[in-house]
Structure 1
């Protein structure tokens, strides 16, 4: 007896993204926000500025403006592509951050500081865009995720000069960026693993084979 194959279609994936996919880019984005203001301190000139012999204007242009401009350039790409290709955008962006932070940790002059800040800013802007894109696609808890991420981002911006200043006073500014390198590397690993898990879950199920007809 021949049993015709079922015409029922496999369930299509929902439009929303799993909440845990936000973890990787959000963690990297918080590190990126921390790195925006870590080059400053509230009670005077930073160790980075003193060690490299930079004026306040030079620190502003090479350390802050370059970072923000690079982040603004990369942000739209992360926002537009992050919802569809979160891992493909996030992993290269975090890798760019990693290169930039490593370069700053061992920077010998202002020129390489500029390169390091641009690389870090490009990565930070992209992962921030991916984070916002993924949060917008959440089916539940979107407001809570946005509020928590925004609150942690403001906290990172405010605490960076304090924590960076304390660590720089004790060990020098390079150690601050070495520690940041470790956190960026963790974000890279987390984003890669979660991306693999998401890709595995997104594979369509194999349809059942029809029974062959009996003679």
Structure 2
């Protein structure tokens, strides 16, 4: 067999599990932000303070978010397997800017911009998470189940926590706290990416091949 066709059996294709931490945390924050705008026991503080109707809140706060997420999800899914850290950092930066805009929003127009940026970041992060889970060699089912379970929990718990913070302080505090979590996720993603890149460098050296026989005269 030609030496150029040989492969190193010690370097299986597939991301390490810890590479999921950054985009997975970003995806959970994105799902939390999707439903945090609502509350189950009446109008949200954001809706009351900005003087929005229920239809406007649905279109600006939810539909725009979902459309933006649907647009960004394919990009995260396609690029997330090859460039998980880069795509995740871009997604988190979009989420951070969007959350800060919502936290200091003066009108419903600015709310639309913030929610679109949140949706773009959330969709890309979910796509990266799905791409990494799909490429795992072991524990793929457990990782998918855990991600799905935590995602549903984030969707369900957001209106309760958002309502509690809004009643005690202001709806703006909800998004300031979310901005803090997004910033932490951004740092974690960068650190994990650097560690993964550092550990991958030694494996990039060419492997010595065994001699194919005595040299020809």
The CA distance in 1 between the partners of 2:92 and 2:11, in whole Å, is 27
In the TM superposition, structure 1's runs of 4+ consecutive aligned residues that sit over 2 Å from their partners are 8-13, 204-208
After TM superposition, the structure 1 stretch with the greater mean CA deviation from structure 2, 192-201 or 182-191, is 192-201
| CA RMSD between the two structures | 1.7
Q: Could you tell me which of 184, 187, 201 is aligned with 2:185? A: 187
Task: Tell me how far 1:206 sits from its aligned partner.
Answer: 4.6
Q: 2:143 aligns with which of 129, 145, 154?
A: 145
Please report how far the alpha carbon of residue 13 of structure 1 lies from its aligned counterpart in structure 2 after TM superposition: 2.9
- Hey, what does 2:166 align to over in structure 1? 168
TM-score by length of 2: 0.89
| Unmatched runs of 5 consecutive residues or more in structure 1 | 1-7, 209-215
Q: Would you say how many aligned residue pairs link Structure 1 and Structure 2?
A: 202
> Gaps spanning 5+ residues in structure 2: where?
1-5, 208-217
8 Å CA contact 1:102–1:178 kept in 2: the answer is yes
| Counterpart secondary structure, 1:165 | helix
Q: Which residue of 2 aligns with 1:47?
A: 45
Separation of aligned partners in 1, 2:21 and 2:116: 24
2:91 equivalent in structure 1: 93
Q: What residue is the counterpart of 1:5 in the other structure? A: none
Deviation at 1:202, TM superposition (A): 1.8
Asked which structure has the greater RCO (Cα within 8 Å, sep 6+), the reply is: 1
Structure 1 pair 9/103, CA: closer, same or farther in 2 (3 Å)?
Answer: same
More off after superposition, 196-205 vs 145-154: 196-205
Q: What residue is the counterpart of 2:194 in the other structure?
A: 196
Question: Could you tell me whether the CA contact under 8 Å between 1:82 and 1:89 is conserved in 2?
Answer: yes
Deviations 1:47-91 (A, max 9, x none): 000000000000001110000000000000000110011011110
How many angstroms apart in 2 are the aligned matches of 1:25 and 1:162? 24
Q: What is the Cα deviation at residue 200 of structure 1?
A: 1.3
Q: Distance in 2 between matches of 1:149 and 1:140?
A: 15
CA distance in 1, matches of 2:107, 2:188: 32
Q: CA deviation at 1:145?
A: 0.6
